[in-house]
Amino acid sequence: MSAILPPAERLWWKHPLDRVEGTWIVIAFVWCMILFFMMVFWHIYGNQNLSTETYKTTPAQFMAKTQAMVDQYTVRMDAQATPVVAPPPGSDVYLIARLWSFWPIIEFEKDQTYRLHLTSMDYNHGFSLQPSNINIQMVPGYEHVITVTPNQSGDFSVVCNEFCGIGHHLMVGRIYVRE
Partner 1 sequence: MSVATTYRTCPRSGLQFESRAEKLILANAVAAVVFLLIGGILAIGIVLTRWPAVHWLEAATFYQVLTAHGLDMLIYWIIFFEIAVLYFCSSTLLRCRIATPRVAWVAFALMLIGAVTNNIAVYQGGSSVMMTSYVPMMAAPSFYLGLILFAVGALIGCFVFFGTLVVAKREKTYQGSVPLVVFGAIVAAIIAVFTIVSGAIILIPTYLMSIGLVEHVDPLIYRTIWWAFGHSSQQVNVAAHITIWYLVAAVVFGARPMSERVSRGAFLLYILFLQLASAHHLLADPGMSTEWKVVNTSYFMYFAVLASMIHGLTIPGAMEVAQRQKGFTRSLFEWLRKAPWGNPVFSGVFISIIGFGFLGGISGVMMGTEQLNMIIHNTIYVPGHFHATVVIGTTLTFMALTYYLIPVLFKREMIAPRLAKWQPYLFGFSMYFFCLIMMGAGTLGVPRRHWDMSFSGMPMAYEWPGAAYLMMGLVGIGGLAAIAGGAIYIYVTVGSLLWGKRLDTGTERKQVTPIPPTAPAAAVQGYGSMGFAAPGTFTLAMVFLGAFILYYFINWKYLSTLWGLS
Closer residue to partner 1, CB minimum distance, 86 or 174: 174
Name the residue nearer to partner 1 (CB basis): 72 or 110. 110
Phi, psi of 28 (to 5 degrees): -65, -40
86 binds partner 1 (CB under 8 A): no
- In the complex, what is the shortest distance from the CB of residue 129 to partner 1, in angstroms, rounded to a whole number? 8
Do 90 and 155 meet the contact criterion of CB atoms below 8 Å apart? Answer: no
Q: Using the rule CB under 8 A, which residue among 66, 69, 107, 143 binds partner 1? A: 143
Cβ burial of 99 (10 Å; 0-12, 13-18, 19+) is middle
The count of C-alpha atoms lying within 13 angstroms of the C-alpha of 28, restricted to the half-sphere facing its C-beta, is: 6
The reply on whether position 3 binds partner 1 by CB under 8 A is yes
Burial class (CB in 10 A: 0-12, 13-18, 19+), 112: middle
Q: x/- string (CB under 8 A) for partner 1, residues 99-138? A: --------------x----x---xxx-x-xxxxxxxxxx-
Question: Does 81 help bind partner 1 (rule: CB under 8 A)?
Answer: no
